[in-house]
Amino acid sequence: MIGLGLPRGFIVTLKNFIRPAVTEQYPDRHIGLLGVAKEAGMNPFQFLVKKPADSLKAIAGLATVPVAVEQAARFRGNEFTFFEDRCTACASCAKYCPLGIIEIVSVPGKIDAQEGESYKLDVFDIDIGRCMFCGLCVEACPYDALHMGTSFERSKYARDELIITKEELFDADKRPSSWYRPQFEEKSFDPFKETIDDHYDAGRHERPSDEDLKKKWVDER
């Protein structure tokens, strides 16, 4: 064991010297001439002739391409995804939050003869500045209205701006993480490529077809 330890160490470091770097460059990656040509879909010589200025820039190591960081679909990200049509304002999420940073105020909504009384969401604020992204609120939501988001670029200059309001949640892109949402994994939904626009798609069950509904509610009665 003891004897040629130091030379062996030098060989290990030299091997790693030759090996490609594992650094993930973010937000953009520096690429050389080959990389630029590959981006443009040409071979390097073609590119050199057609775009000499870009080629020079690439040879000088100044050409960059934006990179998307590889994330898992279950990534618990910085923005919540919220489907207002699914929310019944039950405030389970607020109860389960270990830090109590979800504020919910609900007002009595319309009274429907068929569905009964419902509540309307008046205030739904999440204080991201204190959130630790444990995801217990998502786990608690019985109607799959609240989901973890997948993005992580939400830094702000003032602490107040870190509070996500209801309107902000309504307007945001719906890219829910599949954290505690097995239905997304079954559908192999990729939050980094597609969004969910229809709130029925976010639920645990498929929406029954109109025929089934009719059969259940009209024919059987």
Partner 1 sequence: MGQAFLDNSLWRNVYCFLAGDSSSCASRDYSAGLLPAGMEWLAFAIAAIIIIGLFVNGVLGGVIVLIWGERRLFGRFQSRTGPNRWGPWGTLTSVADAAKTMFKEDVVPADADKILFNLAPILIAAPALLVFSVIPFGIGTYVADLNVGVLFIMAITSLTTLSVLTAAWSSANRIAILSALRSVALLISYEIPMALAVVGVIMLAGSMSLGDIIVAQGIPFILVQPLGFFVFFMAAMAEMARAPFDLTEAESELAAGYLNDYASMKFGLFFLAEFMAEISTSAIITTLFLSGWRGFEPIPSHFWFGAKLIAVLFVIIWFRMTLPRLRIDQVLKFAWKGLFELTMINIIVTAILIAIWPEPTVRHLWYMAAVNWPVAILSIWLVTKLLGTPAYDRTQPDSNAPEYPVGSEEIPASSAYVVETSAQEGGD
Partner 2 sequence: MAIKTQPVTVNLGPQHPSTHGVFRMRVMFDGEEIVDVEPIFGYLHRGSEKLAEERTYTQIVTLTDRMDYVSSMLNNHAYILAVEKLARIEPSPRGVWLRMIASELQRVASHLVATGFLIQDLGALGTPLIYAMRERENILDLFEMICGARITNSYLRPGGVFMDAPAEFWPALDRGLDDIVRTIDELEAYLSGNEIIFSRTKGTAVLSPELLINASITGPMLRASGVDWDLRHRAPYDYYDRVNFERILHTASDNYARYWVRVQEMRESVKIIKQCIEQIEPGPVRPSFDDVPRLIRPPEGDAYVAIEGSKGELGFYLVSDGGISPYRMHVRASSLINLTLLRDMLIGGQFGDLFVTFGSVDLNMGEVDR
Site residues for partner 2 per CB under 8 A: 1-6, 8-9, 11-13, 16, 22, 71-76, 96, 98, 132-136, 139-140, 148, 177-180, 182, 185
For partner 2, which is the closer residue by CB, 25 or 118? 25
For partner 2, which is the closer residue by CB, 26 or 170? 26
User: Can you tell me whether residue 28 is helix, strand or coil?
Assistant: strand
Q: How far is the CB of 95 from partner 1 (least distance, A)?
A: 12
Q: Which does 192 bind (CB under 5 to 8 A by kind): partner 2, partner 1, none?
A: none
Q: Which does 76 bind (CB under 5 to 8 A by kind): partner 2, partner 1, none?
A: partner 2
Q: How far is the CB of 83 from partner 1 (least distance, A)?
A: 27
Q: Which does 21 bind (CB under 5 to 8 A by kind): partner 1, partner 2, none?
A: partner 1
49 lies in the binding site for partner 1 (CB under 8 A): no
142 lies in the binding site for partner 1 (CB under 8 A): no
CA distance 58 to 37: 9
10 lies in the binding site for partner 1 (CB under 8 A): yes
Q: Which does 72 bind (CB under 5 to 8 A by kind): partner 2, partner 1, none?
A: partner 2
Quick one: which of 116, 124, 200 has its CA closest to 168?
124
Q: How far is the CB of 218 from partner 1 (least distance, A)?
A: 37
Q: How far is the CB of 22 from partner 1 (least distance, A)?
A: 5
Quote the tokens at residue 152: 């992580």
Q: How far is the CB of 129 from partner 1 (least distance, A)?
A: 29
Strand 146-147 versus strand 102-112 pairing type = unpaired
> Cα torsion at 150, 155, 159, 161 (round to 10°)?
-70
Quote the tokens at residue 79: 């923005």
For partner 2, which is the closer residue by CB, 73 or 162? 73
CA distance 129 to 159: 7
CB 149 within 8 A of CB 80: yes
Strand 81-82 versus strand 116-127 pairing type = unpaired
Runs of H (alpha helix) within the chain: 5-18, 33-40, 44-50, 52-59, 92-96, 136-140, 166-171, 182-186, 210-214
Quote the tokens at residue 78: 């910085």
Question: Could you list the residues that contact partner 1 (CB under 8 A)?
Answer: 1-2, 6, 9-10, 12-14, 16-17, 19-23, 25, 30, 60-62
